[in-house]
């Protein structure tokens, strides 16, 4: 009799344990994360973001899914993509550009928004300050105006080719993050006694016109300011600079890997990986307003020596040694 009762008790315990485990499994929430970047051809942002969540203990499909959207460098699509993801009742929205961050900020005051790889979110009007962003938005940046990043582009170009005295800068003035970049480059050019011509492009038609104008100018080198529209047109821009034999500087090493000369800036992958940490904190109850915007702790210098040779440039050993990556 006692043996039978013991078996029944054991069976009951196992049944109860199984029921509790099943309830716990059912209760584990699967977070829906909206994710918007500009270029579907680049997997770096979403892969880095996934890695960041993995490092925080998340398992895709088990406790989170990603709803990804891409606006392919066309800023006018951003508000529609934001609205689409908000209709899906995402738990948090991750965006990769200033344009999309502003679209998200205008669209919701309740759904947490985390941006990544945005240049100068304060100047762009995305957050109140880096220390206390305010509202429902925070994120990571790869640079802030006035801190020398833009100046460094010109200094490095001059170091690669001291003969440069006339510079072209291609930017997208419709990008709210463009103004501080342009201002800093203009100030640096004045100090270094380099003449500067500014060219604006944010659409295919404007880009075509700008490239024609740059080709007809007396510019001896070119800086491509940060903009997702330019990232979508990486190959075209690199080929243009090389065809015109213009030493060229970029904000992202993807351009250099595609044949450009030099890049200097924060790591896009690192920015998205750190954005995942913000998402983790928010999903655990933190408020975006209380999470400071994170800035890069390191900047990457990438040099393509094959490209330098094609341009007739000899990169000094001192400059090579400072590079984080040298492509030969």
Please tell me whether residues 89 and 233 are part of one structural domain: no
Measure the CA–CA gap between 288 and 267, rounded to whole angstroms: 23
Mean pLDDT of the chain, nearest integer: 90
Measure the CA–CA gap between 35 and 314, rounded to whole angstroms: 42
| C-beta of residue 258 within 8 angstroms of C-beta of residue 239 | no
Residue pLDDT, tens place only, 110-162? 999 999 988 889 888 999 999 999 999 999 987 765 557 888 999 999 999 99
- Whole-angstrom CA distances from 45 to 186, 256, 271 are 30, 18, 8
pLDDT class of 10 with cuts at 50, 70, 90: low
Please tell me whether residues 83 and 36 are part of one structural domain: yes
CA angle 319, 119, 215 (to 5 degrees): 65
Average pLDDT of 102-106?
A: 96
Please give the tally of structural domains in the chain. Answer: 2
CATH number, domain of 320, equals 3.40.50.2300
pLDDT of residue 24: 44
pLDDT of residue 119: 82
Please tell me whether residues 195 and 305 are part of one structural domain: yes
Check whether 308 has a pLDDT greater than 60. Answer: yes
Measure the CA–CA gap between 176 and 230, rounded to whole angstroms: 15
Is residue 17, in this structure, part of any structural domain at all?
Answer: no
Residue pLDDT, tens place only, 203-253? 999 999 999 999 999 999 999 998 889 999 999 999 999 999 999 999 989
Please tell me whether residues 158 and 106 are part of one structural domain: no
Strand partners, 93: 34, 113
Ranking 62-66, 88-92, 141-145, 249-253 by mean pLDDT, the lowest is: 141-145
Measure the CA–CA gap between 285 and 236, rounded to whole angstroms: 44
Please tell me whether residues 184 and 252 are part of one structural domain: yes
Tell me which residue range forms the domain holding 240.
149-266+300-327
Give the distance, in angstroms, between the CA of residue 86 and the centroid of all CA atoms in the same chain: 21
pLDDT of residue 71: 87
pLDDT of residue 123: 84
Please tell me whether residues 192 and 247 are part of one structural domain: yes
Is residue 22, in this structure, part of any structural domain at all?
Answer: no
Check whether 283 has a pLDDT greater than 80. Answer: yes
* pLDDT > 90 fraction of the chain, expressed in percent and rounded: 71
pLDDT of residue 298: 79
Please tell me whether residues 188 and 318 are part of one structural domain: yes
Please tell me whether residues 278 and 248 are part of one structural domain: no
pLDDT of residue 169: 97
Please tell me whether residues 122 and 212 are part of one structural domain: no
Give the distance, in angstroms, between the CA of residue 269 and the centroid of all CA atoms in the same chain: 8
Is residue 115, in this structure, part of any structural domain at all?
Answer: yes
Please tell me whether residues 140 and 185 are part of one structural domain: no
Compare 326 and 150 and report the one with higher pLDDT: 326
């Amino acid at each position: 009799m006692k043996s039978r009762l013991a078996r029944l008790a054991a069976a009951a315990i196992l049944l109860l344990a199984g029921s509790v485990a099943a309830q716990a499994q059912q209760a584990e929430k699967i977070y829906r994360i909206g994710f918007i970047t500009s270029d579907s051809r680049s997997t770096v942002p979403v892969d880095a973001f996934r890695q960041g969540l993995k490092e925080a203990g998340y398992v895709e499909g088990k406790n989170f899914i990603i709803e990804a959207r891409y606006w392919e460098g066309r800023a006018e699509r951003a508000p529609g993509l934001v609205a689409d993801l908000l209709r899906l009742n995402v738990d948090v929205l991750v965006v990769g550009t200033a344009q999309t961050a502003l679209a998200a900020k205008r669209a919701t005051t309740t759904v947490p928004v985390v941006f990544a790889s945005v240049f100068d979110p304060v100047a762009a009007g995305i957050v109140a300050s880096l220390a206390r962003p305010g509202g429902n938005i925070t994120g990571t940046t790869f640079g802030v105006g006035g801190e020398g990043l833009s100046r460094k582009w010109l200094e490095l170009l001059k170091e690669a080719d001291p003969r440069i005295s006339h510079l072209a800068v291609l930017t997208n003035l419709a990008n709210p993050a463009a103004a501080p970049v342009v201002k800093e480059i203009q100030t640096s050019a004045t100090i270094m006694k380099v003449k500067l011509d500014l060219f604006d492009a944010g659409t295919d038609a404007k880009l075509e016109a700008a490239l024609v104008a740059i080709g007809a100018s007396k510019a001896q080198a070119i800086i491509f300011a940060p903009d997702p529209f330019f990232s979508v047109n990486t190959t075209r821009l690199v080929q243009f600079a090389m065809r015109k034999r213009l030493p060229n500087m970029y904000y992202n090493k993807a351009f250099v890997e595609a044949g450009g000369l030099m890049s200097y800036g924060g790591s896009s992958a690192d920015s998205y990986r750190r954005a995942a940490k913000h998402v983790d904190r928010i999903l655990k109850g933190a408020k975006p307003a209380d999470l400071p915007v994170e800035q890069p702790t390191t900047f990457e210098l990438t040099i393509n020596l094959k490209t330098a040779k094609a341009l007739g440039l000899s990169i000094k050993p001192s400059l090579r040694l400072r590079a984080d990556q040298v492509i030969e």
